[in-house]
Chain A
């Protein structure tokens, strides 16, 4: 693969990682907010309601950029790899159509949930919230069908007459159930740790203020518990995913584990064992720091600064773990874009020559977008702006 083809891939990879990180938080916050709202009313707990309302603000901040980055990724795929888009458009009609319908509902329910807080009956508001949560998972499910197809193109037969597609077999891809389960659990655990990290930081910043200590601590505890609760089954689902790859997508299995099973006449991806090891180390940190944080925040014993610093780091570490996991999954496809039917270079736009200047300009623009997103998220953390 020539250098010219690597640049588009790196730009696309940057945008995809940003999008997937935002989408996971979007899915997680979309579940947390209505669930905490429901719990707060059930228990009559005003602190929980406050956390739920704040999380809805974060959700609003994240959802717009997640959607926008989704369109960015789609258009980048279209201009850099038009043949791939044509192929998946032909083959994956139903996943894309259903995804479009679920995105449609999801995009509308997020602002409706935010703007109707306290203005409609509780039952109505919760119903909107749970539809929002459900559609978040359904969008993820449909895109994981697309991802699983790129792992192993089950359901596609190429004949002399053209392409034949067996829709049922596309949806029954053996890598789909573990990948989907792993992703959904990952979205929830990452969001939990992110919430824990953000509220730990706010707790440290307002150590002298008694008024916020109680509900900040409660938010940390909820975040850590949720993060840990979903982290362990996520690990099991991850192992299941690896086993499924060893069966049907041996090149991807090689990329993750470095173990070369029997492979005939296919190009090998880079060995990513070092990256996978880094991910495992980060998961170990999340587990240890999470357990320490639970112990500390159980009760009103005051704030232990050292342990709170540990839980602040849960936020960046959980996002980094997520990003590394997604990066491994994507890079493991190389040199294919859909293993083993279409290579990156065969799908590339023949009219685009991406040089170094173009690459730097694109990465600078994406970095600016990332910084703006962070600024926007920090603005959403401020109180009483609305």
Chain B
């Protein structure tokens, strides 16, 4: 099994890790919001929602830890050259991250152990705030590391040796805008996921009013964050067009160089400005063309979330209630929101190919030369990882739906 098998398993693990880690960030955000609401409104519904989210956070954190460790060891054994380069030049984000990570995990356990005794207290809300700060900072730092692979800066190869400016590598051109897009995305996808869960609970009967109260808060948060996402997404795509033009051409499906009307206007503010087509790049440097379809599937799903969020928010703000049709329409967000986020990461990562670090390191140069994964090993790993994903769905159903 050659490159394809290794890329498949690496992509599988990375996507799973992005999903779980994003949800961890989102749940720390919701934990803070709902516990604060409970403190100020004294409504036990918000306390129950916080408890469910704390359990969910534990679940997602465990899976994020498992896939994170798997990714880390995968990087070391399958991508040793890439690992060495990143270790050398991205010292600052990685080093700060190593202290935040244990603090986050310790506070998570402390938060859980003190729930019964301290829930709703200033001290307990402060703990959730520490969790939020740690998780947001971590995702921001790791996004900066990831962004280096797309818009590398501060690194030169001179006579086979690496010369590096560590600050320039950390603050690479795509870092800030990527962070601005990724952090709200984590919040929004988790919030949409939970709104779908609470819509389902409200419709299932019994205690509709209680669950709808939580749903209303979630949908307002989700919609607000989607608006932020549209703005930061626009900034991110401009960065892609500027620094990774072949990726931009692939995701927009531009084959011939020329003006692309609306796309030209959205990127450059000029209807007539030409956009480089894929034909202008050597075939060996072109990303896969199916990205175009994946990207637009993502936009369609994001559009559904935006319209749903707008409609539900209007009902909540103007009438104070949510029609059953809207609740029913919200249920698919349980899957749609994480899928939008996963497709976003897929387009980002696959769009970088054939480069592992753009214009610095190709995929085949970054890989291990001493070992090749056989198809049986790949199959075994896929079975183990798939089984864990199924176990996750079962556990998530028990925690989120059945409480």
User: Taking beta carbons and an 8 Å cutoff, which residues of A are in contact with B?
Assistant: 15, 57, 60-61, 64-65, 67-72, 74-76, 78-79, 82-83, 85-86, 88-93, 96-97, 99-101, 103-105, 107-108, 110-112, 115, 162-163, 165, 349-352, 365-366, 368-369, 372-373, 375-376, 379-380, 382, 384-386
Contact = CB atoms under 8 A, between A and B. Distances in A.
A60 B103 contact: no
A89 B113 contact: no
Interface size class of B (residues with CB under 8 A): 35 or more
Interface string B90-126: 1100110111011111111110111111000000000
B328 interface: no
Contacts of B307: none
B65 interface: yes
Given A76-B98, A369-B102, A376-B113, A104 B388 contact: yes
B105 A68 contact: yes
14 contacts: A68-B104, A75-B97, A79-B94, A82-B83, A82-B87, A85-B76, A88-B76, A89-B77, A90-B371, A352-B91, A372-B103, A372-B107, A385-B113, A385-B116
B102 A72 contact: yes
Contacts of B81: 86
Given A65-B106, A385-B114, A386-B113, A111 B87 contact: no
Interface stretch (B55-63, B187-195, B230-238, B283-291): B55-63
Given A64-B105, A65-B102, A165 B370 contact: yes
Contacts of B370: 90-91, 93, 162-163, 165
Interface of B: 55, 58-59, 61-63, 65-70, 72-74, 76-81, 83-91, 94-95, 97-99, 101-110, 112-117, 164, 166, 368-371, 377, 381, 384-385, 388, 391, 395
A100 B108 CA distance: 23
A82 to B, nearest CB: 4
A119 B104 CA distance: 28
B98 A108 contact: no
Given A75-B98, A101-B384, A93 B77 contact: yes
B116 A67 contact: no
A72 B98 contact: yes
Contacts of B388: 104, 108
Contacts, number: 181
A372 B105 CA distance: 10
Contacts of B381: 101
Given A61-B113, A107-B62, A385-B114, A162 B369 contact: yes
A65 B113 CA distance: 15
A286 B313 CA distance: 65
A104 B66 contact: yes
A385 B113 CA distance: 6
B386 to A, nearest CB: 12
Contacts of A350: 88
A112 to B, nearest CB: 8
A108 B70 CA distance: 12
B70 A103 contact: yes
A80 B383 CA distance: 35
A78 B94 contact: yes
B189 to A, nearest CB: 22
Nearest to B384: A101
A99 B113 contact: no
A83 B76 CA distance: 11
Nearest 7 Cβ contacts at the A-B interface: A89-B80, A82-B87, A100-B73, A78-B87, A68-B102, A86-B84, A107-B66
A384 B117 CA distance: 9
A69 B63 contact: no
Contacts of B61: 64
Nearest to B391: A108
Contact of A78 (B67, B70, B83): B83
